Amino acid sequence: MTEGNFVDYVKVHVTSGKGGQGSKHMRREKYIPKGGPDGGDGGRGGHVIIKANKNLWTLYHLKFKRHFKAEHGEHGSKQTSTGADGADVYIEVPLGTVVRDKETEEILFELTEDGEEQIIAKGGRGGLGNAHFKTATNQTPRYSQPGEEGIEADIILELKILADVGLVGFPNAGKSTLLSVITAAKPKIANYEFTTLKPNLGIVNYRDYKTFVVADIPGIIEGAAEGKGIGHRFLRHIERNSTLLFLVPADAPDIKEQYDILVDELRRYNPQLLDKERLVAISKSDMLDDELKAEMKKILDKQFKGIPYLFISSVAQQGLTELKDKLWAILN
């Protein structure tokens, strides 16, 4: 999937169907004079329904279709015949989609299970026919109810990727390279910042045919929570990861400082993100010899108290088995 095809935020206008009008018909048959009212009810207007589909990974199919309108209900007719209901309209979305009201920004609901359905705009009720209004003192009512109007609404569909592990790090920290090595994903890799412009997903094959899903999130920079860089657009995807794997390159001026900046950005965006399990991977460690690693460990043991960390190299395939073991242990 190209970067232009990854869509995780769309605004949609929905309109439910209007209810059908009730009938004012009077019964007219041979040999039955003054048959009385026999007008039927109008049909219900169609709903607009949001439905989760596990086969979708993005909101790209909604990029060029932003208006959804359900059918109106049919009018009632003679012999107390009820009009047909208007056809419902379904908007299919990937798992992990959050639906918001555009005006208030309020979260209406989110869909996380395949086949889950939620009505976003109810169709109008059909009007009652005149047969409902006949009484002993009003035997020939010549009126009926009109159908209810449909509902119009502007909503926001926001996709939050569902993954077991989310890769968090500064641009060019080696996240895409790691994903390409431990999974079959083929993200774009280059020696410049912001190579990744969309989240990438990969499935890690673990021992005994076990698997877990890793998401490569575009690089975060200091100030991302306020809108700097492009990482702030994708911070929402980290909310759906159960474990966060922080990647800090071994040649960083201060490894602990970079980690603290990343954690602070997550805290400013959503403090609940700090409740997730964390693991720190020091990438590009093939540049370090054993003596330098030993010296760094003495310093890092004091700085990363209670936070597990390890040295890895995606290019040299170093420490990756240990990384998978630790991630699997945290996930389970």
What the block records as the tokens of 206 is 């673990």
Residue 289, marked binder: no
Is 41 flagged in the annotation as binding? no
- Is 55 flagged in the annotation as binding? no
205 labeled part of a ligand binding site: no
**Residue 296 burial (C-beta neighbours within 10 Å; 0-12, 13-18, 19+):** middle
313 is in an annotated binding site: yes
Q: Is 276 annotated as a binding residue?
A: no
68 is in an annotated binding site: no
8 is in an annotated binding site: no
- Do residues 113 and 167 touch, judged by C-beta distance below 8 A? no
Residue 301, marked binder: no
Helix and strand element counts for the chain (H, E): 5, 14
For residue 214, give the nearest of 173, 185, 249, 190 by alpha carbon.
Answer: 185
- Is 18 annotated for ligand binding? no
Does 144 belong to an annotated binding site?
Answer: no
Helix intervals (H) in the chain: 175-182, 235-238, 255-269, 290-303, 320-331
219 is in an annotated binding site: yes
Distances (CA, A) of 224 to 10, 156, 218, 243: 21, 22, 11, 20
Q: Was 195 annotated as part of a binding site?
A: yes
Residues 6+ apart with CB under 8 A from 163: 201, 213, 214, 215, 237, 240, 241
Does the annotation flag 228 for ligand binding? no
Question: Is 216 annotated in some ligand binding site?
Answer: yes
Q: Distance between CA atoms of 174 and 183, rounded to whole angstroms?
A: 14
Q: Is 140 annotated as a binding residue?
A: no
Is residue 197 part of an annotated ligand binding site? yes
> Is 246 assigned to a binding site?
no
Do the annotations mark residue 218 as ligand-binding?
A: yes
CA distance 324 to 63: 37
Q: Does 146 count as an annotated binding residue?
A: no
> Is 227 known to sit in a ligand binding site?
no
Please check if 249 is assigned to a binding site: no
Give the residue numbers of the binding site for GTP: 169-176, 194-198, 216-219, 283-286, 313-315
Give the residue numbers of the binding site for Mg(2+): 176, 196
Give the residue numbers of the binding site: 169-176, 194-198, 216-219, 283-286, 313-315
